[in-house]
């Protein structure tokens, strides 16, 4: 690793964005010592205890030190509310500020990419080897898990915490399946929630793929605090990147390719700033068109999220650790030994379930947390409490991203259109009623107090719809703005080889390529995308692995 004064103004590959996928691409490409790689990151180095400490995640997503702090436009179906969208602006990207939950998604997510959207080579059999190559799983192994990859993945013991254990037992009592490994044969069901934590520390993409040995490679240059302003083209061929660092603008040449790994917001924004996108968006922002591609910034998706919150009748959960003295003692324990409550992200029990009969595979995620936060804040309710996140995995509403100006420092216009689709409102109604049923099981009898939100008076469809519109937020998984598709798909931005359609020497590799967001937290899938991208660039591919996967036999007629 060299400090990026750009002594050498030309590199074989320029990777833009050191996030979940970008770290992987830069690391894998630079394994070939005959080529040179520049990794550009707008944010700083990932040197902070707040990044390392798993329980410090709240300070990262609410702060501005490592966060782009995007905000949606007023959302029409949310009473005009704006929704915060934190994204990582630091080495590691959002993997350095996220909740550290490791989930891959359902096999049918990836089979759907190939069968429905024409993404040849992206079926579950194709992506499974790359999930395996990326990870070292610290748990009971099976044919679906990796043992020698750079990403450390751990599984918590949910029996240690009475509330997490009650959630798991309540799922069984309500008739739902359980699965020991939701990242293997059976995705559906109640399960221990795996995490990218090892030795009590966050294991981000930067820690995994940019180890000290990797950073010392002479052929890899990592440039932090460097803003990508515009991709440089000669006709339709990408030839380099204009960046700004320390107030100075430079143009760096790419001899082979430019690879965008800036996320669903950053990649679409930079393409538009560079003249690639819908002509009306470019014209309105006073950007000279290089290539009209109407799909850039379209198909914006997310996992909308809301929480059922309940008072706890026993002194359990995280409430004692939010104030002196136990908060400070927990911090001291972590600093000294990397153990204790601060060494966990506290999202240790979860479930993937279906909201109704006729849904083939899970479209709802439930995630348990032993503390309830007051609306629109990270301030806990007084006393003891818990909450269950209800997150739609396949929301039907679609939004868009559009630059407002031709300046890279100006944030784009983000319209998610949450709850525009009636199907999403129906799914949230079902989600609340199903989650209330789970909390009503006898496993929660010793702990269940009054319902804090939405409260006992919210029952009718109209009441639930109003509550959801007033409170729904994001699970922090924007996707789809440069979606992948076949040559016959006029709305696709990249081909299955991740090359931008109609252009040369430029690819996209991050969550923006997802034609349909997967039923998972998106960090692990983005790392897989980075692994796939690096092999596609190098002209090689791991052999597919065809493994069976679970589908409920009676899914057409039964919700569980």
- Cβ(44)–Cβ(223) under 8 Å? no
- Cβ(526)–Cβ(510) under 8 Å? yes
How far, CA to CA in Å, does 401 sit from each of 317, 406, 481, 482, 495? 39, 14, 7, 10, 20
477 is annotated as an active-site residue: yes
Give the residue from 38, 419, 18, 75 showing the smallest Cα distance to 252: 38
Give the residue from 139, 136, 138 showing the smallest Cα distance to 147: 136
Beta bridge partners of 479: 301
Q: Are strands 151-154 and 135-138 parallel, antiparallel or unpaired?
A: parallel
- Cβ(232)–Cβ(251) under 8 Å? yes
Task: Quickly count: other Cβ atoms within 10 Å of residue 554's Cβ.
Answer: 9
Dihedral angle computed from the Cα positions of residues 353, 473, 458 and 440, in that order, rounded to the nearest 10 degrees: 40
The alpha carbons of the chain give a radius of gyration, in whole angstroms, of 23
What does residue 221 show for φ and ψ, rounded to 5 degrees? Answer: -110, 125
223's tokens = 């440039």
324's tokens = 């002196």
Catalytic residue selected from 85, 191, 291, 477: 477
Calpha distance 175→57 (Å, rounded): 33
How far, CA to CA in Å, does 340 sit from each of 155, 336, 345? 15, 10, 11
Residue positions annotated with a catalytic role: 477
């Amino acid at each position: 690793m060299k400090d990026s004064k750009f002594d050498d103004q030309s590199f074989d590959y320029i990777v833009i964005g050191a996030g979940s996928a970008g770290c992987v691409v830069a690391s894998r490409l630079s394994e070939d010592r005959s080529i040179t790689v520049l990794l550009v990151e707008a944010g700083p180095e990932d040197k902070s205890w707040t990044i390392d400490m798993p329980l410090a995640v709240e300070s990262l997503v609410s702060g501005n030190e490592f966060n782009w702090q995007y905000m949606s436009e007023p959302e029409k179906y949310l009473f005009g509310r704006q929704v915060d969208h934190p994204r990582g602006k630091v080495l590691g990207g959002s993997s350095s500020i996220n909740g550290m939950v490791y989930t891959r998604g359902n096999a049918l997510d990836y089979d759907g990419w190939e069968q429905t959207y024409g993404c040849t080579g992206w079926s579950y059999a194709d992506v499974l080897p790359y999930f395996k190559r990326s990870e070292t799983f610290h748990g009971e192994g099976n044919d679906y898990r990796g043992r020698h990859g750079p990403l450390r993945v751990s599984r918590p013991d949910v029996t240690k915490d009475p509330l997490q254990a009650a959630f798991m037992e309540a799922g069984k009592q309500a008739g739902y399946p359980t699965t020991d490994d939701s990242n293997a044969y059976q995705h559906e069901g109640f399960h221990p929630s795996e995490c990218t934590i090892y030795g009590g520390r966050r294991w981000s993409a930067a820690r995994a793929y940019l180890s000290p040995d990797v950073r010392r490679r002479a052929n890899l240059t990592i440039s932090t605090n460097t803003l990508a302003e515009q991709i440089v083209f000669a006709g339709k061929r990408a030839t380099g990147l204009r960046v700004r660092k320390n107030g100075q603008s430079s143009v760096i040449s790419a001899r082979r390719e430019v690879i965008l790994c800036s996320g669903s917001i950053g990649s679409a924004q930079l393409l538009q700033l560079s003249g690639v996108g819908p002509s009306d968006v470019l014209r309105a922002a006073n950007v000279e068109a290089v290539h009209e591609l109407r799909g850039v910034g379209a198909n914006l998706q997310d996992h909308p999220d809301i929480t059922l919150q309940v008072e706890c009748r026993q002194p359990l959960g995280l409430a004692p650790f939010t104030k002196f003295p136990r908060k400070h003692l927990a911090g001291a324990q972590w600093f000294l030994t990397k153990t204790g409550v601060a060494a966990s992200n506290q999202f240790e029990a979860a479930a993937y379930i279906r909201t109704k009969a006729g849904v083939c595979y899970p479209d709802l995620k439930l995630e348990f947390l032993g503390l309830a936060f007051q609306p629109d804040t990270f301030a806990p309710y007084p006393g003891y409490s818990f909450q269950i996140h209800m997150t739609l995995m396949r929301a039907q509403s679609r939004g868009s991203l559009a630059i407002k100006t031709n300046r890279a420092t100006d944030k784009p216009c983000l319209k998610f259109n949450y709850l525009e689709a009636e199907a999403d409102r129906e799914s949230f109604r079902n989600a609340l009623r199903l989650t209330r049923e789970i909390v009503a099981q006898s496993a929660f009898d010793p702990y269940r107090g009054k319902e804090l939100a939405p409260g006992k008076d919210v029952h009718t469809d109209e009441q639930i719809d109003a509550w959801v519109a007033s409170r729904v937020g994001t699970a922090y998984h924007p996707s789809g703005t440069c979606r992948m598709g076949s040559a016959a798909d006029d709305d696709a931005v990249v081909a299955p080889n991740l090359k931008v359609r109609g252009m040369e020497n430029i690819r996209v590799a991050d969550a923006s390529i997802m034609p349909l967001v997967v039923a998972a937290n998106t960090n692990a899938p983005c790392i897989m995308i980075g692994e796939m991208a690096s092999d596609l660039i190098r002209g090689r591919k791991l052999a597919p692995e065809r493994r069976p996967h679970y589908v409920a036999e009676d899914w057409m007629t039964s919700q569980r």
